[in-house]
């Protein structure tokens, strides 16, 4: 997976404004596809998948930055893949509990102390897609609630990443899942994680983008997509084409401020909002398709 590294240099009217500027910049940069940040002495460092980088959206956000008198410039370079992953691969992650013990996600090295209904092992090269990110937890919570009240048989995972959402759904009782991702490494990793969790016979991971859906005939009871706002807006119609009356669409990967755009788009496509949940300004929307 190829990433850009962006180094933001921030100048604020007063030093006390720096932290607010960092926080706002991180939130606004999410619209441009950036997903991970770390603070620097004079600003912020962020990372974005090269295929998802929306530079125009980033420039527009900086031009309209809400803290008057703030100046922001940034440099873009290609992040070294091995350097980007080394610390994560070495350290792994501590077990994450979701849904009051319904699901525990772990890396196979840091074993959970508690017994959960569903234990999922994720061998991930990146932190995103393990449950450490708010959007992943929100989606897992939504899947728990959905499978508790219904018995969906088929799930489509758009932008599958580590495969965690599809794997969780299968472990929660869904019969089969199909996932796709634009990154070859992600597809290989999702297949690997399916084997670890013994669901490989019920999970198909495909390489490609939403155009893959045009060649499918089957429909799905549940479609999940944890991707950035612009991709969701672009691909939502193709998601709906793979749904039937009564199918559910679960979306995350965006901030709460972006929810109205997605809700309006969903309404245009015949979807009805069922539920909205948030975690640290990240949001998950659940829709249902009616005939």
Higher pLDDT, 125 or 141: 141
Examine the pLDDT at 47 and tell me if it is beyond 90.
no
Q: Per CATH, is 3-79 categorized as 3.30.70.100?
A: yes
Higher pLDDT, 254 or 272: 272
- pLDDT tens digits, one per residue of 154-164: 999 999 988 99
Starting at the edge strand found earlier in the chain, the sheet holding 118-121 runs: 96-98, 103-106, 118-121
Higher pLDDT, 225 or 90: 225
Phi-psi region of 280 (alpha: psi -120 to 50; beta: other; left: phi over 0): left
- pLDDT tens digits, one per residue of 211-255: 999 999 999 999 999 988 888 999 999 999 999 999 999 999 888
Cα(205)–Cα(107) distance, integer angstroms:
21
Tokens 């499918």 -> residue = 216
CB 93 within 8 A of CB 103: no
Tokens of 185: 């490494």
Map residue 154 onto helix, strand or coil. Answer: strand
Cα(201)–Cα(158) distance, integer angstroms:
19
By percentage, how much of the chain surpasses pLDDT 90? 57
By percentage, how much of the chain surpasses pLDDT 70? 91
Higher pLDDT, 109 or 258: 258
pLDDT of residue 84: 45
CB 243 within 8 A of CB 224: no
DSSP count for the chain of H helices, then E strands: 8, 14
For 139-162, what is the mean pLDDT?
A: 94
DSSP element (H, E) containing 222: strand 220-226
Q: Which CATH number fits domain 86-289: 3.40.50.150, 3.60.150.10, 3.40.50.10860, 3.30.160.270?
A: 3.40.50.150
CB 121 within 8 A of CB 96: no
Examine the pLDDT at 208 and tell me if it is beyond 80.
yes
- pLDDT tens digits, one per residue of 50-70: 888 999 999 999 999 999 999
CB 130 within 8 A of CB 136: yes
For 61-81, what is the mean pLDDT?
A: 90
Domain-wise residue ranges, the chain: 3-79, 86-289
């Amino acid at each position: 997976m190829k990433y850009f590294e962006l180094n933001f240099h921030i100048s604020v009217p007063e030093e006390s404004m720096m932290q607010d500027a960092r926080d706002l910049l991180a939130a606004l940069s999410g619209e441009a596809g950036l997903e991970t940040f770390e603070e620097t002495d004079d600003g912020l460092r962020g990372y974005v998948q090269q295929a998802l980088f929306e530079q125009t959206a980033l420039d527009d956000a900086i031009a309209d930055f809400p803290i008057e008198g703030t100046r922001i410039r940034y440099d873009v370079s290609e992040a070294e893949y091995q350097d980007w992953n080394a610390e994560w691969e070495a350290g792994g992650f501590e077990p994450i509990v979701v849904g009051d013990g319904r699901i525990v996600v772990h890396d196979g090295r840091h074993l959970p102390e508690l017994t959960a209904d569903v234990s999922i092992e994720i061998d991930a090269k990146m932190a995103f897609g393990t449950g450490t990110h708010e959007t992943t937890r929100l989606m897992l919570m939504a899947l728990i609630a959905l499978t508790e009240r219904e018995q969906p048989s088929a799930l489509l995972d758009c932008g599958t990443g580590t495969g965690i959402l599809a794997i969780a759904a299968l472990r929660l009782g869904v019969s089969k899942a199909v996932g796709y991702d634009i990154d070859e490494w992600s597809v290989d990793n999702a297949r690997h994680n399916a084997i670890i969790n013994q669901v490989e016979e019920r999970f198909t991971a495909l390489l490609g983008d939403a155009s893959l859906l045009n060649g499918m005939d089957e429909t799905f009871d549940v479609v999940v997509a944890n991707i950035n706002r612009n991709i969701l807006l672009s691909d939502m119609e193709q998601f709906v084409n793979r749904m039937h009356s009564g199918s559910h669409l679960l979306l995350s990967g965006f901030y709460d401020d972006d929810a109205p755009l997605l809700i309006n788009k969903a309404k245009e496509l015949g979807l009805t909002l069922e539920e909205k949940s948030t975690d640290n300004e990240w949001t998950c929307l659940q829709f249902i398709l009616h005939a």
